[in-house]
Each structure stands twice: as structure tokens, then as C-alpha cells.
Structure 1
Amino acid sequence: MPKFIVYFAHWHEDFRLAELEALTLLEDVVVEYDRASYTSKSPFLIVEIESALQAAKLVRRGILVRSIVEYWGSGSTYDELFAEVRQKPEKWTEYKDSSFKFTVDGFGKSLSQEEKISTIESFSFLGFEGPIRMKNPSAEFLVCEEYGESSKPLSLEKPRWIWFGRVVGRGSRDLIDKFDVKKRKYLGNTTMDAELSLIMANQALARSGSLVYDPFVGTGSFLMTCSHFGACSMGSDIDGRQIRGTAGFRRGVDGINANLKQYQLQDRVLDTVVFDVCHNPWRDDALFDAIVTDPPYGVRAGAKRLGRKNGTIPERSLKVVDGKESHKRTDYYPPTIPYEMSDVVNDLLEFAAEKLVVGGRLVYWLPTVANEYEPEDIPAHPALRLVANSEQPFGGWSRRLITMQKVALIDADQRMSEQDSLARDPAHKNFRDRYFSKFKRGLEDNSVID
């Protein structure tokens, strides 16, 4: 099959392959590549795809993909590159009379305009006679000099590798700006970064005809990004203030509905409701194609569930007002108790195993203490298979984007395997206490804490 260069954004490196593999399923495109050849230190990956049309289809909704390029040649020097390009003149003679454009990039070094012009002129042997068109050319060619990661990239005089080919498709990184939280009419302190929300929508295989649910909906970031890709979505939360807009950085703007109107997604977001997911009203059946969520860590937004500390109703709640006991009134708000992180995740997996259709995906964030994390800390369930585990580090702690797929139906009494066989607590156990006691002082960016 023909070779192509996937040109990744050099950001969230641990998420790139997981998203790429999700895109192969979303677009039904067969892709072959050597996983061992991938390195997080380079934004380039050679893949094999049946055609340029299939390659463009593959990346069209990619968030971590800048572009995909039909491979024409590469080398450690321009002489090596030119020698390979000259071996297949049938490729470039096809574009002899077409309008064209050259783009010259540098990875690890900023190239001057003079350097870029000199590089473009060195490709004159291709013999292109068509007009140069900077907007909407018939063919666009990319030259990228890869200098690699370096603390002093400008000190590098020669590139480590040079890539060349025809650009056949681009990702959807423009959506990051479209859904930028700074531009939203309504947001709160738990609003998820737009780029990560979009990546999660891809990981969840959100698409037209699918039903996506967020059980900790907050200000609704995942509803918007999943619905943008065509899914019908809905969410719930134990705290209705976030949904209604009576809590958050910008209040009095009709809450989540304000954002849905802003992005014209009212017809795809079915509803948002208020209840404790541990006492949910859903029927006992597989309902959802994906569950996408950011469970509360108990740091910035405390995790809560319905309950009482001593399990009894205090006398003040039994007081009769207007002929009704207080706890039976329609305006009564039931009490809540803290919800420990490991319990949240275990309950989430149980819920997903029951409510996901077979083949459906659970995509969620798991915070962990960095120096205590082990792969076996990831909660497991007999009905769910781990698909991807991508880390976003923050020094003393990390959060991991966990993607799981439902692979089997389960009996009503079939529960997830307990982690009490571990010789220690998992790295997300009592995360709130460990966060404040061990590494909060050294945290550089706590803006991402739930």
C-alpha cells in the first residue's frame, strides 16, 4: 500500500496513537504501521493506507493530527531526499501544469524566510510550470526539517531528518479554537479544556446515530463536543446548580443551555437531569453507545452522593410544615456525604458494564499519585476491555484518560473484580487527602483539577 506521513501536533504526545486508532474505527480506514517506530519525541509517523482519499478521510476529524502527507521522500540530507524523489518521476510529472504551493516547516527550529525560499528553490528540478497559488492550489507540498527536541534548538545547524510529500488532508485542530472555553457564554471551575474534550469525543467514537451520556455532566463540555460530531447526548449531575447556571464563573446565562444555543446544538443534546448516579432512574438495560465523563476528584469540586453520615433522619427533618414532614416536601434537598475517588470509579465501571451496549465505550479521567502508580491500579471489570491509557503529567500527580470497551453481556450478579489483592492501595485511592498532604505545594498548574 502507498506510504503516508502523519504529521502530529507536538502536544499531548501520549494521546496521539490512541486517537489515531480511534479514527481508524470511526472512518473505517485500514491503516498499517510499525508501532515500534513511533516516538513521542517526533511528530512524524509513517503509515500505509490504500489511497490518498482514504488517508484524507482518516484524519478529517483528528484533533492531534495537523495533516497527512503522501510520502515522496526523506533523508538525513537534501541530497538523499532528492535522490529518492527522482526515483519516481511519475508522481511529480502528474502535477507539472497544476497550480501549486510549497510549505516549509521546521520542527525544533524556527526557519527564516530566506531559508524557506532557498529550500523551495532547491526543488526546481520537479519542473512544475503551473501557477503558484497560496490559496486553494491544486496541489500543496510540504517540506519539514526535523531538528528534534532540544533545549537550544537554534544552535543546531543541520536537520536530523528531512521529510517531503504532497499534503492530502488535514485534521480538525480549528475546532480547538471554536470550542475554546474562554469564548463560551457559560463555564465553571470544572469546565474541561476544549482540546481534551474533543479528543475524548473521538476516543468515545461519538458519531451520528450514537447516544452518549455523561453522569457527572457539570457544565456540559462533553455534551457539546460529542454532539458536534453528530451524536445525541445527555447528562446528569447530583448538583443541578452547574446545569442551571446558578453556579460557575459566568452566572445568570441559562447554564448549559446558553452554550448549546451558542453552538446551535439544541437539537442534539436531548436533556440534562439532576440525580445521584448511584440511585439513577435508568431502566435495567443497555442504553448508551458511550459514556464520557470527568468524575469529581474531591479537590476543587467535592465528590458527593446521597446519604447521611449516621444513616438516620434528624428530628428537624421530621418536623411537619404545611401538613408535610420536611423530608417529604417537593422542595426538599436530600443530604449528601463524601464520595471517595476509588468508590466513584468502581461504581462508574459497574454502571458502564450494565448500561453500555456491547461494543460501547467508557472514556473517563483517573487521577493518580505519580510516584505510586502501577499499571495494575487501573480498575478492571470482566465485561470491559482496556483500550487506551494515556497520561497527562502534572509533576507530583497525573491524570490518565482511560478508554474501555464493553466486550460482553454480564449477569446481574456479576461484579467487577475487587482490588484488595493488591499489596497496597491503588494510586487513586483517597486521592483528595494525598493531593493536599503530599504534592499540592509543588503543583505548577492546578487549573486542571476537576
Structure 2
Amino acid sequence: MRIAMIGTGYVGLVSGVCFSDFGHEVICVDKNPAKIEMLERGEVPIYEPGLDALMVKNVEAGRLTFTTDLAKAVDGAEAVFIAVGTPTRRGDGHADLTYVMAAAEEIAQNLTGYAVIVTKSTVPVGTNRKVKQVMAKANPEADFDVASNPEFLREGAAIEDFMKPDRVVVGVQNERAADVMAEIYRPLFLREFPIVTTDLESAEMIKYAANAFLATKITFINEIARLCEKVGADIKQVSKGMGLDGRIGNKFLHAGPGYGGSCFPKDTMALARTGQDYAAPMQIVETVIKVNDEIKRRMIDKLQDLLGGSFNGKTIAVFGVTFKPNTDDMRDAPALTIVPALVGGGAKVRTVDPQGKREGEALLPGVQWEDDPYKAARGADAVVILTEWNEFRALDLKRLAKKMETPRMADLRNVYSLRDAKRAGFEAYVSVGRDELTPDA
């Protein structure tokens, strides 16, 4: 099939590349000429393992192209995917649909035949019906249907998630649109991956409900972790004991400094606002948002205690600033709350992140960037593990401790243990949900 993908951000680019690998003819559109030129050179503007090689493969096979010309892309397309940004709107917390509606209007003006207009962007309930209205107004003669096809891609594992999904959700209004969507996803259907076909509103709600539930699960275990610190329990053991219950599962039960990223913060906020609009308050979700913000600030207090009550004059090495490993995404990362507090408190901060520097330099002013964790720790008063990159999972702790002025560690991802720290010569070690300030305690 011929597919047009409007938007070459994270979702659009990954989806377009993967659809082309299914065998479809895909043309990706972006208004940014520099980005299109970069893609045409075989360079990927985001960090996602394996994406560059898969993109080049399909470009060379003639199935994948890039353009700034939306009219050219839409001409003859059987499906047009909208994969533009839906950031949180300033002032009220709603999802900003400006880019979605602008894309819908431009698509309508350039349709040359029947096509299914598929919203891939994460949008509030009712958006697809609004897309249909906008398009009908822009071009009353346009022949189209709308569909909702939310994405469930984990950054750092997006290709695997696309090729081997837990499920594919498709919201449609009629069989004609359903048939087109079935053809698009035929390779997954043939391999018996679940394809869930629903109405438009249910498909839109599934995405928000899923993300809100996962954010709730993370926030719940972080609250339990705080109580574990008070009563002397070990959150890793608690999480394991909980996760072995098949009704609960072990995913998203890892205590840490709070959730971040491109999805959970904005989607929980948008769902909460939708609930308020329809007089059906999402009280659990609203609490999750509040508690997650508190968790990030609580990490600052934990670091302050580790350093004797003040950051002033201290040298601190921060390992990891992206919101999770295997991505360069820093949107709503805990580092954006924690690191400025360190700098603002008078600390000299050195940061190390395998992919975070490109975005981090602008977002984290006043820090010194290093490529090597041991170099960053030289003469430091403390090291802080904020993101559990593989590079930080197998550190030589003895070597690290010897490099430091005062060997203290805040392990906010529970990568190591008090026993590990004691053996390596650290004089103080704190983690999340199993706190001990001194190895001799």
C-alpha cells in the first residue's frame, strides 16, 4: 500500500520506517527542510537503537522516501497517518491539537482519491471526530474516513515493540476503513499478534488509560519505597514479592526518582483535564501527578542529607540525565528537576550520559559535561546515578571511590547495594526504598 506519514518525530519516523519494512511504499513528510535533508543523507535525528540501519535498508530498497511536500505525499496515498506533536497546552494542561488540526486541513485540501486518515498522535477522546469535521469543512468533496491508531512504543525498544506488539489498537467507523487498516497490518495479523478493532472513542481512551495506569504503578511503588525507608523494608524484595503475583506483574515496579518522558507526564495531565471537562474527575490520576512531582523533589532532600545539609561548594558527579536508558529524550526527566537544584544550591556539577548531551547542554546550563564517569568523579564529594544506562550498571566501584574526595553515592535507580558500596570503600550510600546513610550502620 501507499502510505503518507505526516511528521518525522519519534512516532512518525519509527512508524514510517517499520511500515516500509512491512513492504509498504511510505513517504514521510516534515516541514523542516534541514531534518528532511538529514534523513535523505541516512542520518537519524533521534537516538533509537537499530533505527538508522533499518531506515537505510528500506531507503535503498525504494520503499521509503522523505519530502517537505505534503501534497506530493498525499497524492495517491491509500492511508495518511498524522504523527505530529500534541504537547501539553500552556495554561490549562490540555493536549495542544494545533498541529493535528493544521495537518488535517492541509491533507483534506490535497486529497486526490479515497484515503483513510489515521491519527497516530496521542489525542484526547473526541479528536478524530473533530479531525473529520475539519477536513470536511476544508474540502467538502474529499473522499475519506478517519481512524484512530494509537502507538505503544517504548523509547529504546521501539522497533521491537512495533514488530512484535502486545496488541495493535484500531478505531474505525466502518468496514471500508477497517479493511484498509487490516491490509496495513497484515504482516502482524499473519503472525497472530492481537489486532483490537474498536470504535474511535474507545481507541483514543485505551491509549490514555494504559499510560495513566502505568504511571500509577510507578508512582505506587515509589510511595511504597518511601514507607520501606521508614520501616526498614527493602523495596527490591517487596517489588519482587508483588510482581510474582500474576494479577500484578513485575513490570513498572522499579522504585526510582519518578517518571518522565514524552508520554506519561503529558498524557496523565490531559486525561485529568478531560475528566474535569466531563465532570468525571480522575482523582487517582490527579493524585499520581501530584505525588510524582513530590517524589522528584524528595530526591533533592535525599541528596542534601547525603551531603551534610548543603550543596554549596560541593562537587557532584551525575550519571545519566535522560529520562530512561537507550534514548536521548530528556522531556520531563527527573534530571530537569534535580540537577538545577544542585547547581542552584552552589554545587559544581559534572554530568555523564551516553546520549543526553545534545539536548542536555541547552536544558541544563551551568554543568560540566564529561564522557567518562571516572573522570567526572575525580575529586567529587558524591556521585548520583539518575539513569540506569548499562554503562553505569557495571562500574568499578573501588576505582570510583578512590577517585573521589569523599566517596558517597546516591543510587537513585537501585543499581547497586549497601553491601557493594561498603566493599568498595564508600563512606555513605543511599538508594530508594532501602535507605542506609553509612555502610557501617
Q: Which one has a bigger Cα radius of gyration? A: 1
Higher fraction of strand? 1
**Alignment TM-score > 0.5, same fold:** no
Structure (1 or 2) with the greater helix fraction:
2
